[in-house]
Amino acid sequence: MEWKKINRYVIYLISLFIISLGASLSIKANLGTSPLICLPYVCSLITNLSVGIVIFLFTILFIVIQIALLGKGFEKRQY
């Protein structure tokens, strides 16, 4: 059971890396941005923070909003 859990985390981290690589390549190549990173990209241009930091802050904000909306229905495993 432990090996299966470690394998899931490794696959998750690899997929996060591939997603972030695709987003950064599309920004650097001036291909445009996907709807998912459009707002963080614009905020990064305004605040002079990196896109990664702004996306991280937006993700934390979305989690806090989800906790507020779900209240007691928010399970600890969703962190």
Report the alpha-carbon distance of residue 53 to residue 59 in Å, rounded: 10
The answer to whether the predicted template modeling score (pTM) of the entire model surpasses 0.85 is: no
**Number of domain units in the chain:** 1
Q: What's the longest Cα–Cα distance across the chain? A: 46
Domain boundaries, position 38: 2-78
pLDDT values of the chain reduced to their tens digit, one per residue, 79 residues: 688 888 888 898 898 788 778 777 877 787 776 777 788 888 888 998 888 888 888 888 888 888 888 888 777 766 6
Report the alpha-carbon distance of residue 26 to residue 4 in Å, rounded: 33
